[in-house]
Structure 1
């Protein structure tokens, strides 16, 4: 048997510490709080974030309305009004739109939005469609194919 193996009996309770009741009690006079100072006084301590009179961190930092997104998702946006001039059964992709001059810069994957109307059937291949754009293209007899769909 070792000293570290000794433990109190199951269910036994330890008496509460009575501080400030003399040197024999083990926590006499200053009750373990030291001599003087803010932390030795009675009552509550300081509130969270208090830095002893120094301007606290939450007041030093600038308050921003928003934070910039670290990895933003950028899309090349095309509305249906821009696709209305295309011939019937045309295959619409980002590269084909750049060749025709409808889109001038590649800002990311193609996303089709539903502003405007389409009267001819088109085969549109894009990374995303708004619900209104998809319904208008399919109502005109065209098809919508989502490219690069992530699994999971």
Structure 2
């Protein structure tokens, strides 16, 4: 035996099974799919959740409680430390100012919530939908005001651009 004979007959990829090529191939006639039934039909795909006609797991397990996710609020989160970095002097901080500075982006939120991470040294008047207790305390301690404003609704981008021009 020579070294070049060792790899003869060995292929990188296994050849696919050619079915439906006559009785002599061993995979002729029904092409290894059996007789009749949905699995013998063309285009059949078995769902990974199908359990052979048995009641599915999702229907067998008892249901408890509910999830009220349709009404869940998603706030744009903002930390006190971010306000310290972005705003140089004392003044009013509202959604328009935050958008102008690029702190709040997108329109998929139901308001702005200010959280208390970081320190604040400037007297800022912050207008937001919600404040954490620590955030409100830090704003007041720095000589500013934490003003709760109701969130009217999702503002469309085109309306903002039209108002700005």
Please give the TM-score of this superposition, normalised by the length of structure 2: 0.50
User: CA, structure 1 residues 65+132, in 2 after alignment: closer, same or farther (shift >3 Å)?
Assistant: same
Farther-moved stretch of structure 1 (131-140 vs 106-115):
106-115
- 2:130 maps to 1:102: no
CA–CA distance in 2 between the matches of 1:133 and 1:59? 46
Give 5+ residue unaligned stretches, structure 2: 1-53, 152-165
CA–CA distance in 2 between the matches of 1:91 and 1:112? 14
CA–CA distance in 2 between the matches of 1:68 and 1:122? 36
User: CA, structure 1 residues 98+64, in 2 after alignment: closer, same or farther (shift >3 Å)?
Assistant: farther
* Equivalent of 1:142 in 129, 141, 144: 144
Computed over aligned residues only, the root mean square deviation of the Cα atoms, in angstroms, reads 3.1
Partner of 1:76: 76
What aligned pairs does 1:31-110 form with structure 2 within 5 A after superposition? 60-61=60-61, 67=67, 69-85=69-85, 86-106=87-107, 107-110=109-112
CA–CA distance in 2 between the matches of 1:93 and 1:112? 11
User: CA, structure 1 residues 82+66, in 2 after alignment: closer, same or farther (shift >3 Å)?
Assistant: farther
Partner of 1:117: 119
What aligned pairs does 1:4-43 form with structure 2 within 5 A after superposition? none
> Deviation at 1:88?
2.4
Larger radius of gyration: 1
CA–CA distance in 1 between the matches of 2:125 and 2:74? 23
More helix by share: 2
CA–CA distance in 1 between the matches of 2:136 and 2:84? 14
Give 5+ residue unaligned stretches, structure 1: 1-53
User: CA, structure 1 residues 64+99, in 2 after alignment: closer, same or farther (shift >3 Å)?
Assistant: farther
Please give the TM-score of this superposition, normalised by the length of structure 1: 0.54
Q: How many residues align?
A: 95
CA–CA distance in 1 between the matches of 2:62 and 2:78? 38
DSSP 3-state at the match of 1:144:
strand
CA–CA distance in 1 between the matches of 2:122 and 2:66? 43
